[in-house]
Amino acid sequence: MIRLVHILSLLGLMTFSGCLSGTSEDDIDLLPPEISSIAEDIPIAPGYFQEVGAEDNAIPIHFKVTDPSGISQIKLQSHSGFDGHSHGRFANDFSFILFRHYQLLTEENLAGANTFTADGEELMIYLDDRNPEIGTGNILAGPYHFSIQATDLNGNESRYADNSTYHTTLLIQRPYAPQIEYTTTNRNLSQMELSIRKNEANALATDLRFVWIYIENRAGVNPWQEGEVTQEWVFGESNWPHQFRPTSGAPLPSTQELSLQELLSENIQIKDQEVLVVWAEDTAGNISLKRIEF
């Protein structure tokens, strides 16, 4: 009986001690830092599917990270999205450079602050010789994935699975890549004026090699996500394996210039919440990607 009383007394002391030390499950920090826009009128940049102009050599970065326990590190990354997420390619002899960006802000830079703001003045993505991985070379045009990931002082890290990591796709355009031009956005594609051509005025331009046209339904998806592909047409042979489409299709009618009417003979009507996507490659591996909303 004495032993039982002693045990119960110990349990009571442990419970009381736990209350004093604040170690209940409710007090444990399990939340990652929040990545958001700086203000309502200053959205996160680069934005979702942001087009980077053919002459742009720097991309400002805007975002805010907050965490009540303090920020340990912030990681910025960008890499090729040419192949979906398989990160492979058929050819390895391209004279152009696959662009990459990696930047790590550590506790040394952040000093455990509860808030960090990037206002586009100091943090930049460089696409020229200011980026040592590019130097004086020319980058491959195309879609590149971009992400912002953050960790707090308790080790909680933002994740892709719950969208607490910010991620999107940059569409980097270049004058030597295939040129996609359109003048109307008629929902009936047989009446839409759109062309894909080699830029003869640029000495680095090469012949058209592959075209992928598809219609994407964005109903019910997050803004960073591609939607469901409802129809697609594939021509030529791609430089890049891709997990979401065939790598070859019908022969290209021309390697110099193409029209939408040449490629799509059907009478196709674009519906609400659908996007027309045109993906064009040249023999040098460059990709031009245009997302057209109606």
Q: Which amino acid is at 137?
A: G
CA distance 167 to 46: 9
Q: What pLDDT digit, counting tens, does each position of 252-261 carry?
A: 999 999 999 9
**pTM for the whole structure:** 0.85
Instruction: Output the pLDDT for position 87.
Output: 47
| 147 CB-near residues (< 8 Å, 6+ apart) | 75, 76, 77, 78, 160, 165, 166, 167, 168
Per the listing, tokens 């680095």 go with: 204
Q: What pLDDT digit, counting tens, does each position of 4-49 carry?
A: 444 445 445 444 444 444 555 567 888 999 999 999 899 999 999 9
Q: What pLDDT digit, counting tens, does each position of 142-173 carry?
A: 999 999 999 999 999 999 989 999 999 999 99
DSSP H helices, 162-274, are 260-263
Instruction: Output the pLDDT for position 5.
Output: 43
User: Cβ(154)–Cβ(69) under 8 Å?
Assistant: yes
Instruction: Output the pLDDT for position 287.
Output: 97
Instruction: Output the pLDDT for position 108.
Output: 84
User: Cβ(266)–Cβ(246) under 8 Å?
Assistant: no
Q: What pLDDT digit, counting tens, does each position of 67-123 carry?
A: 999 999 999 999 999 876 544 444 545 689 988 899 999 988 899 899 999 987 778
CA distance 120 to 81: 24
Instruction: Output the pLDDT for position 84.
Output: 62
Instruction: Output the pLDDT for position 10.
Output: 46
Instruction: Output the pLDDT for position 93.
Output: 53
User: Cβ(261)–Cβ(230) under 8 Å?
Assistant: no
Q: Is the per-residue pLDDT at 56 higher than 70? A: yes
Asked if the bond preceding 32 is cis, omega within 30° of 0, the reply is no
Mean pLDDT value across residues 45-73: 95
Q: Which helix (H) or strand (E) holds 17?
A: helix 2-21
| 38 CB-near residues (< 8 Å, 6+ apart) | 62, 63, 64, 117, 119
3-class secondary-structure state, position 145 = strand
Q: Which amino acid is at 128?
A: D
Lookup: tokens for 185: 């956005």
Mean pLDDT of the chain: 87
Higher pLDDT, 219 or 5: 219
The band of 223, judged by pLDDT with boundaries at 50, 70 and 90, is confident
Strand partners, 292: 276
Q: Which amino acid is at 139?
A: I
Instruction: Output the pLDDT for position 181.
Output: 97
Instruction: Output the pLDDT for position 13.
Output: 46
Mean pLDDT value across residues 223-237: 93
Angle at 166 between CA 160 and CA 167, to 5 degrees: 80
The band of 270, judged by pLDDT with boundaries at 50, 70 and 90, is very high
For the range 16-24, what are the long-range contacts, defined as Cβ-Cβ under 8 Å and sequence gap of 24 or more?
Answer: none
Instruction: Output the pLDDT for position 2.
Output: 44
